[in-house]
Amino acid sequence: GENVEQHPSTLSVQEGDSAVIKCTYSDSASNYFPWYKQELGKGPQLIIDIRSNVGEKKDQRIAVTLNKTAKHFSLHITETQPEDSAVYFCAASRFYSSASKIIFGSGTRLSIRP
Amino acid sequence: DVKVTQSSRYLVKRTGEKVFLECVQDMDHENMFWYRQDPGLGLRLIYFSYDVKMKEKGDIPEGYSVSREKKERFSLILESASTNQTSMYLCASSFFRLGEPSTDTQYFGPGTRLTVL
């Protein structure tokens, strides 16, 4: 079935350094790739997304890249700050006639060391 | 601001009890979803609904049912709770209207941590 693999499961970086989280997906018909951030005690919240017609998207300190041929996509966070500590989920979906069904990765717990 | 609320943050039930988890969204969204979140497994879709009284099975529907009688409310029902249903349950909603662009963004509630003893 459809699957999204996410690595690493935990990541610890020094404040100010960059963090990279990688995902692969199995459904070649996937055309939408969101990233969600889940802070302690809260539900996941969308932080950035990319559609299959672009290879890269940037929003301030975060960027996503997509390689459709290899079915890989990645999240890059530069100049990390303490508030970046959270669990991050990648996801992939394809649009159905009535609703999009999103498949989530297993999550990456990011810790920023002061 | 989109708001998705869930009836309880923490719930403790006994094996065999019938459990209702309620979710309400205030953004007139067509789509609503129920996920369970377990360590190392990410978010797994239990059921979703794209309209009132409509429902579709997700990846792990066994042991669960859902109800959507009103557009803003989506209920998850555990007919006979079991210990392996101890988990965090997350509700989400998203916008869709046929013929209009969909953002696909899902808005999540804060979650209900259910413990079945």
Query: With bands split at pLDDT 50, 70 and 90, how would you rate the model's confidence at A18?
Result: very high
Q: Tell whether B94 lies on the interface with A, counting CB pairs under 8 A.
A: yes
At residue A51, the pLDDT reads: 86
At residue A98, the pLDDT reads: 53
pLDDT along chain B (117 residues), means of 10: 88 97 94 93 91 90 96 96 97 77 79 97
Q: How far is Cα B36 from Cα B31, in angstroms, rounded to an integer?
A: 17
**Site from A49, A53, A100 to mutate, B interface, most B CB atoms within 10 angstroms:** A100
Q: Tell whether B99 lies on the interface with A, counting CB pairs under 8 A.
A: no
At residue B102, the pLDDT reads: 56
Q: How far is Cα A101 from Cα A99, in angstroms, rounded to an integer?
A: 6
DSSP class per residue in B77-110: EESS--GGG-EEEEEEEE---TTS------EE--
B51, B102, B110 ranked by CB distance to A42: nearest: B110
- pLDDT 10s digits, A26-65: 988 888 899 999 999 899 999 999 988 889 999 999 999 9
At residue A32, the pLDDT reads: 87
- pLDDT 10s digits, A62-114: 999 999 999 999 999 999 999 999 999 999 987 654 556 788 999 999 999 99
At residue A102, the pLDDT reads: 83
Contact A9 B40 (CB under 8 A): yes
Cβ contacts of B44 within 8 Å, gap of 6 or more = A104, B35, B36, B37, B38, B58, B59, B60
Searching chain B, which residue's CA lies closest to the CA of residue A89? Answer: B42
- Residue A83 Rama label (left phi>0; alpha psi -120 to 50; beta): alpha
A43, A95, A106 ranked by CB distance to B109: nearest: A43
Contact B44 A104 (CB under 8 A): yes
